[in-house]
Chain A
Amino acid sequence: SQTIHQWPATLVQPVGSPLSLECTVEGTSNPNLYWYRQAAGRGLQLLFYSVGIGQISSEVPQNLSASRPQDRQFILSSKKLLLSDSGFYLCAWSASPYFAGELFFGEGSRLTVL
């Protein structure tokens, strides 16, 4: 069966520090991968998605970036965090190559920027 792992689960970082959140998927090949952000009390905002290794589409221009160095690994990064980067970050995958279909989410990473 397929599983998705996301870490760290919680993170407290000072403003201006770097960020690296990792996500890996097991049990499937060539998944579509996604990073969403959920601010407190709000919906899910799509940040990045990837349909293959090295292929990243950005939905929201900001100080975050994403990379997909391996088929089942998706990394969210920042060189310098802002206060507004605080939130709940969710990695997700889907099997369909043509449309999102059902998304399977990880348990999330809660980031607090102080």
Chain B
Amino acid sequence: GESVGLHLPTLSVQEGDNSIINCAYSNSASDYFIWYKQESGKGPQFIIDIRSNMDKRQGQRVTVLLNKTVKHLSLQIAATQPGDSAVYFCAENIRGTALIFGKGTTLSVSS
């Protein structure tokens, strides 16, 4: 089964708000994590990644935080826009050759 999971299956926010999507992982040996965005009917697209020797990484409007003590990963999206509406997946690398994905959080942004 999947070792990566998300706390909430859905998240609804207003345009302009900041969004926080959470993910818990169970394998303390995981050393690499990625956030993906999947729009309806399309393949997932890379958003941002982080290695286990870091606790924070920033991209354009997105920040990923990693708390290894509690095995928790979060994705923060600043000034959320309608185009951010999608399903967001966290994924971890625990076996060295493949990423294991969580179930995903559906982000809905209303104007």
Contact = CB atoms under 8 A, between A and B. Distances in A.
Interface of A: 32, 34, 36, 42-46, 49, 51, 57, 59, 90, 92, 98-108, 110
A45 B100 CA distance: 8
A59 B101 CA distance: 13
Nearest to B49: A102
8 contacts: A44-B89, A98-B97, A99-B96, A100-B93, A101-B32, A101-B93, A103-B99, A108-B41
Given A99-B93, A101-B32, A102-B34, A46 B45 contact: no
A104 B91 CA distance: 13
Given A43-B101, A43-B104, A98 B96 contact: yes
Given A46-B101, A49-B97, A100-B98, 17 more contacts: A34-B98, A36-B101, A42-B103, A43-B102, A44-B91, A45-B2, A46-B100, A90-B43, A99-B32, A100-B32, A100-B97, A102-B49, A103-B34, A103-B91, A106-B43, A107-B42, A108-B41
Contacts, number: 64
A66 to B, nearest CB: 13
Interface string B72-105: 0000000000000000010101001111111110
A101 B51 CA distance: 10
B32 A105 contact: no
Interface in B3-44: 32, 34, 36, 41-44
A36 B46 CA distance: 16
Query: Which of B41, B91, B98, B100 is most buried by chain A, counting CB atoms within 10 A of its CB?
Result: B98
A63 to B, nearest CB: 19
Nearest to A108: B43
Nearest to B4: A43
Given A43-B2, A43-B89, A44-B89, A49 B43 contact: no
Contacts of A43: 2, 89, 101-104
